[in-house]
Amino acid sequence: MDAAHSSAAMLISNYVFPNDLHVHWSMMIVLYPYITGLVDGAFIIAALYYLFDIKSLRPVARFSLLFALAFLCIATLPLLLHLGRPERNFNMLLTPSPSSAMAGFGYIYAVSMGVLVFIVLFVYRPDLVELRAKSKGLLQFLYRAMTFDSIDLSKDALELDQKIIRFLVGIGIPIAVVLHGYVGFIFGGVKANPTWSTPLMPVIFLFSACVSGISAIILSYIIIRKIKGRSIDHDCIKTCIKTLTLFFILAFAFEMLEVFSHSYLKSGYHHMVEGLLNGPLASSFWLWQVKICSIIPLFILGVLGLFTIKKNIYNFMAAIVSAMLLLQVLIMRWNVVIGGQLMSKSARGYTEFHPEWFDKEGIIAVIIVMAIPFIILFVLGRIFPFWIKDNETKVK
């Protein structure tokens, strides 16, 4: 094959089969589980408030729902861009195979979107009723549909709304678990790839999803409030950090357990997995994922949990550790998706992958895709207020 026409520069070591020269699941397939992970983690924060009634999370509860909805809107976009004929995805939905794990995603995604949309509409129903009273024509008809044609804001009606919200969030949690656990199951079910084929893969994906989503909420909340000149609720940030610490310890423990179990059990391909982590992935795994983006955040989270720190410094450190953990999960997705394809089926060689900037699935395309949900979030913010009004205090 002519390397000049490939989507990335390749370096080959030892013996590699011709069909293993190129990485077929590239940047968009890295982005897909990353985006669905952000959805799940953000939904966890909202669920802790609306279902488990953790009062300190009230300032970010509604924002978390909108954040999850914005990213869920484009969760399938990386997959569609990866496909050469994206319109053929409807075949999987119209004629599904009961034994196909991939065929179920369309239905899981549709149910997740429906539940999340209804939660948002019930949470914002009082605000939508006010907007309905001020609007006319087509816009008023839209608000009538969004408020379920009800303007009743009595105590009984609002209590009923709360019961419906709790019920929807209650069923939304297992749906969110299935949505992202399914992604890990897809990779874990590939028996031909020893770096993917492990029962721990869905668990690792799920916990790392919670880490990335919670980190995104913390970082976004701090940045937006600072830009708007609004106060930052310190108790809210502390609760988010405690929750983040729990999920990150679990995620990192399972990630290391999966790696060390390969080495200790000495399974059939252990020498190839070890060679992969000490070869093509030595820098991205041991240096970036483990040392820089895992050990350092663990130390920072320990400092935040054990010592009394001034609010401004605490918030700054919370933003830094959140950004690092967002990067950690992205690198972890890279090492799993891309790294798992760098090992030849010959069990005697590796290849390397270096993404291009202007490729169909290159760096620029990834940046554009990641920018779209923030545009959607901005539009949603024009319709649904991010923050509860009694928290809107100016910083003096």
Tens of pLDDT, residue by residue over 293-331, are 999 999 999 999 898 889 999 999 999 999 999 999 999
Q: Residue 347 to residues 197, 263, 335, 340, 344: CA-CA distances in angstroms?
A: 15, 16, 18, 13, 6
Backbone angles phi, psi at 127, to 5 degrees: -65, -40
The Cα 387–Cα 385 span in angstroms is 6
How confident is the model over 101-128, as a mean pLDDT? 86
Q: What is the pLDDT of residues 175-220, one digit of tens each?
A: 888 887 777 777 776 766 777 777 788 888 889 999 999 999 999 9
Please give the model's pTM, rounded to 2 decimal places. Answer: 0.86
If you search the block for the tokens 């820098």, which residue do you land on? 283
β-pair partners for 343: 350
Domain boundaries, the chain: 27-188+360-391
pLDDT per position as a tens digit, 27-67: 888 898 899 999 999 999 999 999 998 999 999 999 999 99
349 forms bridges with which residues in the sheet?
14
For CA atoms 230, 233, 236, 237, the dihedral sign is: positive
Q: Please say whether the dihedral angle defined by the alpha carbons of residues 102, 103, 104 and 107, taken in this order, is positive or negative.
A: positive
Q: Average pLDDT of the chain?
A: 83
Give the model's pLDDT for residue 186. 78
CA–CA gap between residue 283 and residue 14 (Å, rounded): 20
Q: In angstroms, rounded to a whole number, what is the distance separating the alpha carbons of residues 90 and 105?
A: 12
User: What does residue 388 show for φ and ψ, rounded to 5 degrees?
Assistant: -70, 135
For the segment 82-99, the average pLDDT, to the nearest whole number, is 76
Return the H-helix or E-strand segment holding 35.
helix 27-50
The answer to whether the CB of 34 falls within 8 A of the CB of 212 is: yes
Say if residues 65 and 191 touch (Cβ distance below 8 Å): no
**Strand ranges in the chain using DSSP code E only, listed in sequence order:** 8-9, 12-14, 349-351, 354-355
Most confident of 15-24, 96-105, 213-222, 252-261: 213-222
Q: Which residues contact 337 (CB under 8 A, 6 or more apart)?
A: 25, 29, 30, 33, 187
Q: Using the 8-state DSSP alphabet, how is residue 32 labeled?
A: H
Digit-coded pLDDT (tens) for 227-276: 988 889 999 999 999 999 999 999 999 988 888 877 777 665 666 676 67
Other CB atoms within 10 Å distance of the CB of residue 381 = 15
Distance between CA atoms of residues 324 and 244, nearest Å: 12
CB 9 within 8 A of CB 347: no
pLDDT of residue 344: 66
- AA identity, residue 274: E
Whether 395 shows a pLDDT value over 60: the answer reads no
Alpha carbon of residue 261 to chain centroid: 26
What per-residue confidence (pLDDT) applies to 271?
Answer: 60
